[in-house]
Amino acid sequence: MRNQSDVFELQNIIVGQQQKLQCVMLEKKIVPALPISINALADYLDQNPERYTCCEQAFYQDRTVDNDGKTTNIFGCTSLISDVVSQGGNEVHADATFKVTPATPQSRQLFILHIIVQNHSIPIIYALMESKTEAAYTLLLTKCKALFPSIIPNCVMTDFETALQNAFLTVYPETVAHGCWFHYVQALIKNVKRLGLAQYVKDNVQAKICLKMCAALALLPVNKIDEGFQLIRRHAIDNNVRFATFFNYYSNYWLRNRGPEVFSVYGLPRRTNNNVECFHSQLKEKFQILHPNLWTFLEHLKNLSSKYHVTVRQLALGQRISRAVKIKYLLNSGRILKSTQQLDLGHITLKEFLLQCSHSAERYIREEMNWHINVEQGVIEENEDEIAVRVEDHQPELPVNIVLPENPEPEEVHEWDERDFFIPEDLELVRWQEEYGNDEYPDNIPYVQIDQTLQVNLHNEETICVVCRDGARSHASVPCGHRVLCADCADQLRTNRCPICNRESTGVIRIWQ
């Protein structure tokens, strides 16, 4: 039999569970009905500011209404913004997504504004917008400037949505607006497809080179982009590449309409705003479904804001909060940095720079082209090995006969797919060198007498990995067959080129001795 104390304990547990159940039922009863519009949501939050709070302050800040009656609701934590700005955050990245907006009430997009702190992206402002016109963006940014005057951006990176860029320059005239390199490359690919050149680019090596060099134009200084474009056109003529319609689009839209100063990412600390795109992916994973319930949506945004308080505090203490960047991304960023330095010093020509940097967007262009062709034609084909493009050796190839569309009109694209195109930045490369070592040695090393002879183990150069210079060579690149990688580096560089011959590798295999 149970003693009396056990009975009392069991009764307390039952009563506690009943009370919890009553609280849950009560919460379900007090969940308000969904508002019929974004403006009605603002009315509810004005009357109930305590429903969604961060740091014991209202998470909802204010609303804007444009001349068409379209409303934008603004959310953010003032304490988080203050902490971010106090750490010197003045680089702003902005983008929007539609996929996680609530099903009811209807809205056009969720606009998110990030500030970069120690090379980490911190989302600070969320705006649920019924319109994405320049007037709506201008009202939103004007209200944000009034609500958060401490935010003074000196650099803004967005996609190439004209309305958004114009609004930033209107509200913050002292800032410099740049477009994202990923969105620039994506726009080039979309127009290659629109002009009916996707199959031609896939089949013709020199046409592919021209497209990749156009992608690399954004890595040049503003005053050299037009000259680089003319070099690409000359390369196309010399190799009989029929790219006239694409070149007309590029000249009319990118050089004349937008201007090189908009899409050039030369000298920028970050070339893409894929930190924002990655955050959009995290939102979709958090919500689990597209277009979630409104109250769930707001609860998640509030919780995300609370989470980033921890991130900002860790950054203030100098703690590392993210995983190390993959080696293949560091190599890509290092290649761009090295080519840029060589160009600035006059060690390579402008065309050589474009050829060297054309590989940076190669994988993305190849995947997008194959995806488009497979879907449109219903054919899944093996991707043939590309010939590695080298500065000193690029052989011409005659194009196939194709029919090109006449009189194409340039198209301005405002909607973007959210795909990973992460190019790590030079700051991460420096951090990686600091952590894992570099080739520089400190000056004035003191001399210390050693009494005994130290045993030095010399590696056999023919058996150690050419990448890490530590592990044993055990894996060979396919199809070239060079056995130069250890197991760890083979896993990291599985989709890259062979480190010896620079030929594209389709995989690696283990070589047993």
pLDDT tens profile 75-99: 999 999 999 999 988 899 998 888 8
pLDDT at residue 35 in the model? 92
Residue-wise burial string across 71-95, b where 16 or more C-beta atoms lie within 10 A, e elsewhere: bbbbbbbbebbebbbeeebebbbbb
Which band of pLDDT confidence, cut at 50, 70 and 90, is reported for residue 434?
A: very low
More confident of the two residues 404 and 286: 286
Residue 393's DSSP bridge partners are 390
Asked if residue 114 lies in contact with residue 275, where contact means CB atoms within 8 angstroms, the answer is: yes
Q: Which of the listed ranges 65-74, 111-120, 488-497 does the model predict with the highest average pLDDT?
A: 65-74
Measured between alpha carbons, how far is 511 from 513 in angstroms, rounded to an integer? Answer: 7
Asked if residue 92 lies in contact with residue 113, where contact means CB atoms within 8 angstroms, the answer is: yes
Measured between alpha carbons, how far is 225 from 348 in angstroms, rounded to an integer? Answer: 16
Q: CB atoms < 10 A from the CB of 108, how many? A: 18
SS3 178: strand
Whether the predicted pLDDT of 480 surpasses 70: yes
Which band of pLDDT confidence, cut at 50, 70 and 90, is reported for residue 220?
A: very high
Residue % of the chain over a pLDDT of 90: 38
pLDDT at residue 477 in the model? 80
- Quote the DSSP letter at residue 56: T
Asked if residue 71 lies in contact with residue 65, where contact means CB atoms within 8 angstroms, the answer is: yes
Which band of pLDDT confidence, cut at 50, 70 and 90, is reported for residue 387?
A: very low
Q: Look-up: residue for tokens 């043939």?
A: 384
pLDDT at residue 168 in the model? 95
pLDDT at residue 70 in the model? 95
pLDDT digits (tens, 9 = 90+) for 238-276: 999 999 999 999 999 999 999 999 999 998 878 887 667
Whether the predicted pLDDT of 475 surpasses 90: no
pLDDT at residue 382 in the model? 32
Token duo for residue 241: 């590449």
Question: Residue 60: which of 24, 71, 69 has the closest Cα?
Answer: 71
Token duo for residue 131: 């319109």
Q: How many CA atoms lie within 13 A of 199 on its CB side?
A: 13
More confident of the two residues 411 and 177: 177
The helix (run of H) or strand (run of E) holding residue 86 is helix 78-86
Max CA pair span of the chain: 98
Token duo for residue 397: 């190839």
Strands (E), 137-279: 155-158, 176-179
pLDDT at residue 247 in the model? 96
Whole-Å CA distances, 511 to 61, 84, 471, 486: 62, 51, 14, 10
Token duo for residue 417: 């797919």
Q: What does the angle CA 236 – CA 239 – CA 245 come to, to the nearest 5 degrees? A: 35
Q: Look-up: residue for tokens 């989709």?
A: 495
pLDDT digits (tens, 9 = 90+) for 163-217: 999 999 999 999 988 888 888 998 999 999 999 999 899 889 999 999 999 999 9
DSSP letters for 240-297 = T---HHHHHHIIIIIIIII-HHHH--TT-S-S--HHHHHHHHHHHHHHSSSS--HHHH
Whether the predicted pLDDT of 69 surpasses 60: yes
pLDDT digits (tens, 9 = 90+) for 35-63: 999 999 999 999 999 999 998 899 999 99
Residue-wise burial string across 250-280, b where 16 or more C-beta atoms lie within 10 A, e elsewhere: bbebbeeebebebbbbbebebbbbbbbbebb
Question: Residue 425: which of 84, 112, 121 has the closest Cα?
Answer: 121
Left, alpha or beta for 35 (phi > 0: left; psi -120 to 50: alpha)?
beta
Residue-wise burial string across 486-502, b where 16 or more C-beta atoms lie within 10 A, e elsewhere: bebbbebbeebbbbeee
Token duo for residue 92: 């702003």
Whether the predicted pLDDT of 423 surpasses 50: no
Measured between alpha carbons, how far is 337 from 196 in angstroms, rounded to an integer? Answer: 34
Asked if residue 353 lies in contact with residue 396, where contact means CB atoms within 8 angstroms, the answer is: no
Comparing 74-88, 148-162, 283-297, 399-413, the range with the smallest average pLDDT is: 399-413
Whether the ω angle into residue 105 lies within 30 degrees of 0, i.e. cis, is: yes
pLDDT digits (tens, 9 = 90+) for 316-342: 888 877 655 555 556 667 778 888 889
pLDDT at residue 41 in the model? 95
Residue-averaged pLDDT of the chain = 77
pTM for this entry? 0.64
Residue % of the chain over a pLDDT of 70: 69
Looking at residue 140, its amino acid is L
**366 CB contacts (<8 Å, ≥6 apart)?**
383, 386
Asked if residue 358 lies in contact with residue 218, where contact means CB atoms within 8 angstroms, the answer is: no
- Rounded (10°) CA dihedral 10, 15, 21, 26: -170
Whole-Å CA distances, 353 to 183, 229, 237, 263, 504: 21, 12, 19, 18, 20
